Amino acid sequence: MSAPLHRPRRLRKLPAMRDALAEVTLEARHLVHPVFVTSRSESRIIESMPGVCQWPVEEAVERIAAWRELGIVQFLLFGVVEPDAKDGRGSMADADHGPVMRLIEAVGRARLDVILWADVCLCEYTDHGHCGLLREDGLPGDVENDPTIDRLGEIAAHLAAAGADVVAPSAMMDGQVRAIRQALSKAGHDSTALCSYAVKYASNLYGPFRDAGEGGMRHGDRRGYQMDDRRTREWAREIALDIEEGADMVIVKPAHTYLDIVASVRRAADCPVVGYHVSGEYAMLRAAAERGWLDLREAGLEVTRAIRRAGADLVISYLSPELAQWLD
Ligand SMILES: [Zn+2]
């Protein structure tokens, strides 16, 4: 019988040894929890995302306070509005009576000691469902880049004025980071952080989010502005541009399916990197767990650690409340 000289198992035998040697950490402070706030008066369960709800403003404040108790400090806000409140320019994104604007102000009044990230995009608020402004003649076609980035700047400045700590543009328009940074600066919000969705793929894994945000499209798709998953180097250009334009942090979305990209971005960027564990990735875990095919707790922790291990400083996760409880 041969005796191996090297036995990696020596360091795996004792649980305390395994804990002592763990290099990847996952704590509640690493989590950013997405919150859907609705202009309706009642909460609504999102069927394709078990455990996730749309909350009216007052209830959202209570939920955020409860999640804060679990150690979650950061929240990413998305608004949901009635179809008849949508228009061509996404007015409800930053109207004073829009759900996100109201929630930011309500959380401010409640003094919850949390960090509020506001998604900056048009798709949840436009009647056509695209992330930007369409041609004025109403013809379906490419989203108009340059008028859109001005509109995104306007929205970001309003969200910052309401009290958003971080604005997170997700429209994938060229030059959006610079336009927003300038709009923030002009409005006196130089200290508002900007976390750009720098690397956002046109993924099929956003399906459940469309139910949650009620941002389905009337025509077309988003491949004209979101990235193509078959390209392996484009992320470098997007990251370089966004950092050069003034982004303080960058998001890779989706994260779990694109761990190679998270790792590459980590090596290339000197700013914090955020991985977005998206709705479809979440729904897959939930659905398998519901059937008893995997253990939600163990698989959820492992997947989130994988995103951290790939290099993400923060993980945006719909599983944040459960993760925070399991980590406790
Ligand atoms: Zn969008």
* Percentage, residues of the chain above pLDDT 90: 91
Confidence of residue 217 (pLDDT cuts 50, 70, 90): confident
Residues classed as catalytic: 200, 253
How far is the centre of ligand 1, averaged over its atoms, from the C-alpha of 6 (Å)?
52
Q: Yes or no: is domain 24-327 CATH 3.20.20.70?
A: yes
Q: What contacts 170, CB < 8 A, 6 or more positions away?
A: 119, 120, 121, 131, 197, 200, 251, 253
Q: What is the pLDDT of residues 257-280, one digit of tens each?
A: 999 999 999 999 999 999 999 999
How far is the centre of ligand 1, averaged over its atoms, from the C-alpha of 126 (Å)?
10
For residues 228-232, average pLDDT: 96
**Burial status of residue 236 (CB atoms within 10 A of its CB: 0-12, 13-18, 19 or more):** middle
For residues 93-102, average pLDDT: 97
CB 117 within 8 A of CB 76: yes
Strands (E), the chain: 31-38, 44-45, 53-56, 74-80, 115-120, 166-169, 193-200, 249-253, 273-277, 314-317
Over the chain, what is the mean pLDDT? 95
Calculate the dihedral angle through the C-alpha atoms of 33, 272, 195, 71, rounding to the nearest 10 degrees: 20
Whole-prediction pTM? 0.95
Confidence of residue 136 (pLDDT cuts 50, 70, 90): confident
Q: What is the pLDDT of residues 285-307, one digit of tens each?
A: 999 999 999 999 999 999 999 99
How far is the centre of ligand 1, averaged over its atoms, from the C-alpha of 124 (Å)?
7
pLDDT tops 80 at residue 215: no
How far is the centre of ligand 1, averaged over its atoms, from the C-alpha of 66 (Å)?
28
Lowest mean pLDDT, pick from 56-60, 207-211, 246-250: 207-211
How far is the centre of ligand 1, averaged over its atoms, from the C-alpha of 123 (Å)?
4
Q: What pLDDT is attached to residue 137?
A: 67
